[in-house]
Structure 1
Amino acid sequence: MPVRTSESSDSGGRGVGLGLALVSALAFGGSGVAAKPLIESGLDPLHVVWLRVAGAALVMLPLAWRHRALPRRRPALLLGFGLFAVAGVQACYFAALSRIPVGVALLVEYLAPALVLGWVRFVQRRPVTRAAALGVVLAAGGLACVVEVWSGLSFDALGLAFALAAACCQVGYFILSDQGGDAGTEAPDPLGVIAYGLIVGALVLTAVARPWEIHWAGLTGSARMNGTAVPALALLGWIVLVATVAAYVTGVLSVRRLSPQVAGVVACLEAVIATVLAWVLLGEHLSAPQVFGGVVVLAGAFIAQSAAPAKKSLEPVAAGGPERALSGQRTSA
């Protein structure tokens, strides 16, 4: 009888987790299409990132106060999380948006799961499976189709470099997620880590973005989304409340209810959602080879993360390894 009750509870939890993960993927996927009109209207990409992170940090202040002992327990984790998983990922991604299409920027960023496997193999010198290596090869080949290398790399080289930098920062997030999960029952609450990560990220970005130079009058007007005028404040509100706060919270809650494999599949949906939204709302059309390449990138990323060694074999790394870290991808940005 207790076994039956447990199975029913697990089934219900997984259903709720899947719904939360889908909401999180949709929220995260909509960040680019809301940010790009603001950037094209004259706002600097770093200023948009600062507004996003600082606004989200302000909303998450109550959670930071609730976990106020966390900075004393995990100062290095919070500093690294804020620097790489928040400030680095967002700044590089938004800088890429200003130069290349939303879908391409996000697909390049999705090389991160493959790069995690490279970290495990060449830095930590731990073996990876052949399936994981196949995933890396597929992701690299798909990326070549996305950027259409046969046409002489027609995309802006600096934009691609920013997107790759975002992928590298996301790798830093995965590794820091491992470090955050190595304490067993003493592991820090993910919501507390997110709250303080946003605060640290906002402080770092304040020094870099210099928000006192923001053209505030631009936020009182409208931005053009594929020819349609949209209030700039509405776009900013979406980025802060939906694409950051709601996306993080629903993502964290979903990870607690899903297996790494399921969480990895749902995480890959973010790139698909972002590409479709950019196609519909921004008129950013991708060619057939680019669409095919995007599918291959996502397939490679999923194979790479799902083929990672079991948790037991990765305990010396961080009691969870890249597979567990990838399952928490929705808690990063």
Structure 2
Amino acid sequence: MADITRNRSSGLAFAIASALAFGGSGPVARPLIDAGLDPLHVTWLRVAGAALLLLPVAFRHHRTLRTRPALLLAYGVFPMAGVQAFYFAAISRIPVGVALLIEFLGPVLVLLWTRLVRRIPVSRAASLGVALAVIGLGCLVEVWAGIRLDAVGLILALAAAVCQATYFLLSDTARDDVDPLAVISYGALIATALLSLLARPWTLPWGILAQNVGFGGLDIPALILLVWLALVATTIAYLTGVAAVRRLSPVVAGGVAYLEVVTSIVLAWLLLGEALSVAQLVGAAAVVTGAFLAQTAVPDTSAAQGPETLPTAQDPAPQTGSAR
């Protein structure tokens, strides 16, 4: 299959859509947790719902099981199951804000891997953008509030960051020869199986899903929120995220991904009444600025080549590199 041209315009659009979709998961999941569901149960329902929605797609792409089984297994184990499992394990030992900050060091790990291991030059804009986004994220989650240095908890949070980094790297690895629908559908199926061992869905209070829950001042059926989590915050979020990495690069898409945290906090303020402090507002501005700087690291090839033009074998490799 022909290679996919790096394209800043469409890639940025997909990256923003992915961040918005992922960012809405927290505020939508919160009413379900408040209604009595365990956070790990909500996570399992979210991933299992996506797997159910994508089951026909998995059947359609069954040949991918033979051609790229390692990629599908890795995607299910690390990005879709590993991040969730390690994050929930971390927040049982360290504050949520600290765990979230460490988890979102994933794009920084991608940048370090690209520069130090693969020895591919990384633009100053991408480096500055990711660094600024990390600082802004620290303000957003108010990391200075109540830090407890639990070594095991920090290691678990770092493991979540490593799994998040593999999301960007694996998405870039398969950018030219594997359909994103195949990767996401089988990734969701594998993640559901793995998370079932931790979440033990047979202990889930299923009756809560038949009730209404408070959301944004309204009584909403819990099942509607669950469908939103599975369809928008998981299926669409991952699909647009993979499309973004394929058109940008792991480093740049990772920088834009910090918009997820901004989206989550702003929606929590609008829908759940969770007020933003001055420090959080400053942090949100820093995250947006960092994401903008990161995305400027990719040259816009659409103007020179046209949206349908594909690179030839003589074209130089993109400066930000791919993970192949």
Q: How does 1:12-91 map to 2 (within 5 A)?
A: 23-91=17-85
- Give the partner amino acid of 1:197: G
- Given the alignment of the two structures, is residue 214 of structure 1 paired with residue 204 of structure 2, yes or no? yes
Give % identity: 56
* RMSD after superposition: 4.2
Counterpart of 2:285?
A: 295
Contact 1:128 1:309 in 2 (8 A): no
Distance 1:299 1:89, change over 3 A: farther
Show the 5 A alignment for 1:185-196: 187-196=177-186
Provide the aligned length of Structure 1 versus Structure 2.
Answer: 302
Structure 2 matches for 1:1-333, cutoff 5 A? Answer: 23-92=17-86, 109-151=103-145, 153=147, 165-181=159-175, 184=176, 187-225=177-215, 228-249=218-239, 267-304=257-294, 307=297
Residues 156-165 or 241-250, more deviating: 156-165
Structure 1, unaligned runs of 5 or more: 1-9, 326-333
One-letter code aligned to 1:212: W
* 2:220 aligned counterpart, secondary structure: strand
- 1: distance between equivalents of 2:271 and 2:154? 22
Quick one: structure 1 residues 235 and 271, their matched pair in 2 at CA, closer, same or farther if it must change by over 3 Å?
same
Retained in 2: the 8 A contact 1:191–1:252?
A: no
Deviation for aligned residue 1:72: 1.2
Report if the CA contact (8 A) 2:114-2:321 is conserved.
no
Change (3 A) 1:40 1:87: same
CA distance in 2, matches of 1:295, 1:94: 27
- State the SS of the aligned residue for 2:289: helix
Partner in structure 2 of residue 6 of structure 1: none
Superposed displacement of residue 284, structure 1: 1.8
**Range with greater deviation from structure 2 (59-68 or 118-127):** 118-127
Show CA shifts across 1:62-100 (max 9, x none): 111111011111111111100111112344556789997
Question: Could you tell me which amino acid in structure 1 is paired with residue 228 of structure 2?
Answer: W
Question: For 1:19 and 1:305, how far apart are their aligned partners in 2?
Answer: 11
Query: In structure 2, do the counterparts of structure 1 residues 287 and 165 end up closer, same or farther at CA, with 3 Å as the change threshold?
Result: farther
Q: Please, what TM-score do these two structures have when normalized by structure 1?
A: 0.72
Conserved? CA contact 1:114–1:139, under 8 Å: no
Segment drifting more, 138-147 vs 205-214? 138-147
